[in-house]
Amino acid sequence: DGGITQSPKYLFRKEGQNVTLSCEQNLNHDAMYWYRQDPGQGLRLIYYSQIVNDFQKGDIAEGYSVSREKKESFPLTVTSAQKNPTAFYLCASSGQGAQGNSPLHFGNGTRLTVT
Amino acid sequence: AQSVAQPEDQVNVAEGNPLTVKCTYSVSGNPYLFWYVQYPNRGLQFLLKYITGDNLVKGSYGFEAEFNKSQTSFHLKKPSALVSDSALYFCAVRDWGNYQLIWGAGTKLIIKP
């Protein structure tokens, strides 16, 4: 079955450590996204990529970094500069990039806890 | 400023009754509107979208949504609720500045047997 795989499901880190969240898709989608979800808030866009080797900052990119070396992979690194990293992180992909009407396909998320 | 509002944090409905989850939007240009559902500790799943055409849009799992341009609303509806419909529902609209989605805060739908 085609889909998006996020790993790990749960991740625990000490404050001051960088951590990388994995996102892989086999849907052959050009566009990929990282969102952060906090209780009582909508999704907030961290980074997005419309094509391999290119990505753009979203609304809350500070303290995060990404790479897009392969079409199917879009890893997110949460750096020690992120002030409040504990959250639920969602990766998504879509087939039409910037054309606007293609729905997003989501992974099942990674819950990151930093203590 | 472009925005999406879901005015109800939680909606409670008895099983078998009709349900409505409200969404209003503010966007410059034609609105592209979406509804997604999220079950606990899972990613979001696409339910339906409005791009153009009929104001009543039908989607997955028996859900439909009505686009109302004059009221700038896109309410999600279902004629007869199931306990399994209990979940978190998100409305979103396309931002024509960067082509990304603007999300509502979500509405928790609880269907009681």
Residues of B in contact with A94 (CB under 8 A): none
Q: Which residue do the tokens 């039409």 mark?
A: A96
Q: Does A100 touch chain B (CB under 8 A)?
A: yes
Are B71 and B25 in contact by the 8 Å Cβ rule? The answer is no
A103 pLDDT more than 60: yes
Look at B36 and A109 and tell me if their CB atoms are within 8 Å.
no
- pLDDT over threshold 70, residue B12: yes
- Tokens representing B36? 């997604």
pLDDT of A98 higher than 60: no
A46: nearest CA in chain B?
B100
**Closest-CA residue to B87 (of B22, B40, B24):** B40
Compute the nearest-CA separation of B82 from chain A (Å). 23
**Would you say B37 and B47 are in contact if contact means Cβ atoms under 8 Å apart?**
yes
Q: How far apart are CA B85 and CA B78, in angstroms?
A: 10
pLDDT for A95 = 86
Chain B residue with CA closest to A89: the answer is: B43
**Which residue, among B58, B94, B74, B78, has the nearest Cα to B66 in the 3D structure?**
B74
Q: Both tokens of residue B110?
A: 């609880």
C-beta of residue A22 within 8 angstroms of C-beta of residue A11: no
CA nearest to A87 within chain B? B41
pLDDT band at A100 (very low <50, low <70, confident <90, very high): low
* Shortest Cα–Cα distance, A103 to chain B (Å): 7
Band of residue B97 on the pLDDT scale cut at 50, 70, 90: confident
| CA distance linking residue B86 with residue B81, whole number of Å | 9
Contacts of residue A44 in chain B, CB cutoff 8 Å?
A: 103
Quickly state the pLDDT bin for A99 (edges 50, 70, 90).
Answer: low
Q: A57-86, pLDDT tens digit by residue?
A: 999 999 999 999 999 999 999 999 899 999
Query: CA torsion angle for A79, A82, A86, A88 (degrees, to 10)?
Result: -80
Q: Residue A92 corresponds to which amino acid?
A: A
CB contact under 8 A, A45 and B100: yes
pLDDT at A97 over 80: no
Contact list in B for residue A113 (CB cut-off 8 A) is: none
The whole-angstrom separation of Cα A47 and Cα A74 is 10
pLDDT tens-digit profile of A3-59? 999 999 999 999 999 999 999 999 999 999 999 999 888 899 999 999 999 999 999
- Taking only the tens place, the pLDDT of each residue in B28-63 is 888 999 999 999 889 999 999 999 889 999 999 999
Longest CA–CA span in chain A (Å) reads 40
pLDDT band per the 50, 70, 90 thresholds, residue A106: very high
Rounded Cα distance between B16 and B14, Å, is: 6
